[in-house]
Amino acid sequence: MSDLPDDPDLLAAEYVLGTFDPATARQVAARAEADPALRQAIMAWEERLHPLSAIADEAVPPDALWRRLGASIGAGPPIDSGAWFAPASVAVRAWRSLAVWRGATAAGLALAAGLAAFILLRPPPPLPVAALLPSGSGAPAYMAQMQPDGTLRVIALRAVAVADDKDLELWALPKGASAPIPLGVLPARGRGVVSQNVPANGTRLLISLEQKGGSPTGRPQGPVLFAGTLHDVD
């Protein structure tokens, strides 16, 4: 860092200009993460220099670019394919994983880069979370969390055995509603993403035991085994 300008504004200017080597750029980016004034200065320089981008000729990107982007966003946030069902401390791991989900999508690419743009982002809003407990007593069996894109992610905290001819079905009971909305059958491995809109805060989530493929009537037929309520955290 010996060669860096002392003036934070000049530091921001050179950062935006992009003339630093990757290691130095990373150092400045890390500093800006913790220094709102530096972030502000970087943002101001991005605005100041942005009109220069008009000098580069526009070019039509290959069609494959949109297809690739469409595929990237169509899949939604990346689903962790690692093993979730460790016997010990599963709840702790799940909570940590939830915390990772919050930051991972936006931060992942930025952290990989030497130069990072982050200033237009504000802190993530709290994403409602629910722990689903057995209806009798016992430790939480499932966690559910709203995602920034409006989907609901559900993971099993432990293995739940279900007879071969049965399925577990997830339901949402919005605050004040009398009938639950079917959200779908839980995948065999106990985690999945519910893509339809789920009313957020205060909604009760239920998991009932149903015939294979889920309740044919759109209402729970079997007993409710697990339940929990979506709440904001933070």
Out of 16, 129, 156, 206, point to the residue binding other proteins (CB under 8 A): 16
Contacts (CB under 8 A) with other proteins, residues 140-169: 146, 148-151
Cβ distance 58 to 129 under 8 Å?
no
Instruction: Give yes or no for residue 126 binding other proteins (CB under 8 A).
Output: no
Site string for other proteins, 42-81 (x = CB under 8 A): -x--xxxxxxxxxxxxxxxxx-xxx-xxx-xxx--x----
Give the binding-site size for other proteins (rule: CB under 8 A): 68
CA distance 175 to 160: 27
5 binds other proteins (CB under 8 A): yes
> Mask: binding to other proteins, 166-205, rule CB under 8 A, as x and -?
-------------------------------xxxxx----
The residue with tokens 């085994």 is 225
Tokens (6 digits) for 214: 């889920």
- Measuring CA to CA, which residue among 69, 78, 229, 67 is closest to residue 149? 78
Helices 22-34 and 36-49, interaxial angle, to 10°? 120
CB of 41 closer than 8 Å to CB of 9: yes
Structure tokens at 120: 């237009």
Q: Is residue 115 a contact point for other proteins (CB under 8 A)? A: yes
Residues that bind other proteins (CB under 8 A): 3, 5, 9-10, 13-14, 16-22, 43, 46-62, 64-66, 68-70, 72-74, 77, 105-106, 108-110, 113-117, 119-125, 146, 148-151, 197-201
